[in-house]
A = this chain, B = another copy of it.
């Protein structure tokens, strides 16, 4: 039995009542939930203080969906790219390559909503130049130009909700009688909104046992498209392609005074991936959709509150329009947000959300048969992986609650997993209980992450399918993954913000990390000379700048990295090979103390996939701290009263994370901080709680380690078990050097006792 209880939500289901009782006790759970495809058992309210229920505003009522096929949710799609082999009529089957179970074309006002583009010239083929055959699902271009490439951008209708399709396929529901392929409906369409309100009201009446309505989610799914074989074809967790409709586009035009084109969504096939520097039109659409979703979601939340329940949102699935760091999110009035923790960065993405009383992470693995099987599945290994990742973040910014998702019956088949989960739950509660309700000490300056998105996409850079690993991304994602567990206040800034108001006062170091031409490096933002001007001036006044990969990349005026003069490096693109390079190699430097050494004694950074090519120092004033294969990996340089550090890549690792910490200290001119609350072993990290007078050291390694802690001029030698942690009493509480208080309001439900408010 656990030392304490509470703060934990478990998924439950019908038919295993006794086992559930045991599981709830073992994990100290105080809340339960159902999942997509399971129902709450009658004993739910007996088991715990609080009962959550999933609620699907966009697909929960399939009788309604089938009776109102005109309300299907739309989506913008682009056909395959088709090369015209002659100037004779070119027939394009618009849905070729897509999943027939997922989409059908929407033929409403095709002249307005469809668009044919000659991609070889960029010219739009006017509607008079093409015709649509609704029987065959084809579009014919009457007189194409031979050997030009054409695409058709078109509105489709979604016949199947993307997440439910994923769950259906993953769990093999085709063999279970009664399973529907659930159709989504659009609250903008005729009658849907009125029905949705009424349905929620009725459902609340019918479900008095539910304390918390877990919206999963609201109205529009992120972009998730399947191919002809039912395999994933396109996935963008941030994608707005399925938030469109003739109604929405008309409303946008009426409000904004200009009409959006299909190309504003299809974006030449890039579909406004978050890696694309965002267009004005797309930013407007995000704002337009977010305001609409927030207003409607608020009405549903109000209904929930009016009936004495609490409202929680799952951050995922049909979450489009609810960007939690956007300006409209708080207006929804949610009590809580729950999201999946696939990494430290995604854990911080949840825990840092402003404007809600309670945040909860759904830890992984999800109790699905892809992991919970006896044919090579390794639920314990995955639990350890994800806990070690998430714990780093939880220590820095405690979440109110944790939980799991999926089918409890599956988890119960793995007693080893259940035992490990019980340990994790206890460790999670301990962080709350022993920290004194305060966040740990942070460095006395804020780290600003600078990109095209800024605060809107806090903790969300370099993400494609949520926390999924991508070869192209890990080299950059490591920056946030490191920061998520380091003792810094982190703030996300957009280029526009810096242009409008300058670098905020609290920022000590700015980080620009990304590949050329992406929103994270900035792309065309660097064409504006005011940006480089502002940042040069800021660094010269004493600021710190850290660039990773291809920071400030924009081909202009003989430089590729526009802040190359500050960073001291530039990226070779086979255009400056004539210039000889004589880098100033600096084998020892405070930044690189933890890195391994090459045969020449130089520090050797693991830079992942690197910067996409070679990097050279621009002159002898650049200190090259890591240099391999004729290319700079780490460089440091003074610029006026400030400092700059360059990394060619920074995938997450224990040692890279510490190296980033050192670089942040150095760039801020505070390398002295390495003496304060620092652990000798890179496997370990420390959190110091001055008011509680104790610190926590976590061991991120799979083996026991010895580590020495330095702080306040004292040292502690500690041995910490594999993946373990140690709380150490310092003996004197210090109010002066305090961390921020934790989330102010009561958690939902919080602690081990039932909170006020009857949730």
Q: How far is the CB of A136 from chain B (nearest CB, A)?
A: 21
Interface stretch, picked from A253-261, A324-332, A533-541, is A533-541
A273 touches B147 (CB 8 A): no
Whether A305 sits at the interface, judged by CB under 8 Å, is no
Whether A233 sits at the interface, judged by CB under 8 Å, is yes
Interface stretch, picked from A119-127, A292-300, A426-434, A704-712, is A119-127
Residue of B nearest to A471 (CB): B630
A558-B119, A559-B81, A559-B149 known; A575 and B533 CB under 8 Å? Answer: no
B529 touches A121 (CB 8 A): yes
A120-B557, A268-B557 known; A147 and B81 CB under 8 Å? Answer: no
Alpha-carbon distance between A537 and B473 when the two chains are bound, in angstroms: 37
**Chain B residues, CB < 8 A from A67:** none
B120 touches A532 (CB 8 A): yes
Set B273, B465, B471, B630: member contacting A629, Cβ < 8 A: B471
Whether A340 sits at the interface, judged by CB under 8 Å, is no
Whether A41 sits at the interface, judged by CB under 8 Å, is no
Set B149, B472, B612: member contacting A565, Cβ < 8 A: B149
**Chain B residues, CB < 8 A from A276:** 575
Residue of B nearest to A560 (CB): B517
Q: How far is the CB of A541 from chain B (nearest CB, A)?
A: 11
Q: How far is the CB of A689 from chain B (nearest CB, A)?
A: 39
A464-B577, A472-B572, A565-B81 known; A122 and B275 CB under 8 Å? Answer: no
Residue of B nearest to A236 (CB): B578
A540 touches B85 (CB 8 A): yes
B558 touches A151 (CB 8 A): yes
Interface bracket on A: 35 or more
Per-residue contact bits, chain A 444-475, to B (CB 8 Å; 1 contact, 0 not): 00000000000000000000110000111100
B578 touches A271 (CB 8 A): yes
A149-B557, A471-B629, A558-B151 known; A273 and B81 CB under 8 Å? Answer: no
Alpha-carbon distance between A483 and B366 when the two chains are bound, in angstroms: 56
A470-B577, A518-B575, A629-B471 known; A582 and B231 CB under 8 Å? Answer: yes
Whether A191 sits at the interface, judged by CB under 8 Å, is no
Residue of A149, A270, A515, A618 most packed against chain B (CB within 10 A): A149
A558 touches B147 (CB 8 A): no
Residue of A120, A516, A532 most packed against chain B (CB within 10 A): A120
B557 touches A471 (CB 8 A): no
A472-B572, A574-B275 known; A559 and B119 CB under 8 Å? Answer: yes
**Chain B residues, CB < 8 A from A236:** 578
Alpha-carbon distance between A613 and B608 when the two chains are bound, in angstroms: 13
A580 touches B149 (CB 8 A): no
**Chain B residues, CB < 8 A from A464:** 577-578
Set B122, B580, B619: member contacting A557, Cβ < 8 A: B122
Whether A235 sits at the interface, judged by CB under 8 Å, is yes
Whether A223 sits at the interface, judged by CB under 8 Å, is yes
Interface of A is mostly: loop
A147 touches B235 (CB 8 A): no
A579 touches B148 (CB 8 A): no
A576 touches B269 (CB 8 A): yes
Q: How far is the CB of A108 from chain B (nearest CB, A)?
A: 25
Whether A354 sits at the interface, judged by CB under 8 Å, is no
A472-B574, A558-B81, A565-B149 known; A529 and B269 CB under 8 Å? Answer: no
Q: How far is the CB of A574 from chain B (nearest CB, A)?
A: 5
Alpha-carbon distance between A268 and B534 when the two chains are bound, in angstroms: 23
Residue of B nearest to A521 (CB): B574
Residue of B nearest to A271 (CB): B578
**Chain B residues, CB < 8 A from A80:** 619
A window 619-645: CB within 8 A of B: 619, 629-630, 640
**Chain B residues, CB < 8 A from A465:** 578
Q: How far is the CB of A146 from chain B (nearest CB, A)?
A: 7
Residue of B nearest to A274 (CB): B578
Whether A232 sits at the interface, judged by CB under 8 Å, is yes
**Chain B residues, CB < 8 A from A233:** 579-580
Whether A21 sits at the interface, judged by CB under 8 Å, is no
Whether A145 sits at the interface, judged by CB under 8 Å, is yes
Set B515, B516, B565, B578: member contacting A223, Cβ < 8 A: B578
Q: A-B pairs with the 5 shortest C-beta distances?
A: A268-B558, A119-B557, A147-B536, A269-B558, A236-B578
7 contacts between A and B (CB under 8 A): A83-B565, A234-B579, A234-B580, A269-B558, A465-B578, A472-B614, A515-B573
Instruction: Write the residues of chain A forming the contact surface with B, with a CB cutoff of 8 angstroms.
Output: 80-81, 83, 85, 117, 119-122, 145-149, 151, 223, 227, 231-236, 239, 268-271, 273, 275-276, 464-465, 470-473, 515-518, 529, 532-534, 536-537, 540, 555-559, 562, 565, 572-580, 582, 612-614, 618-619, 629-630, 640
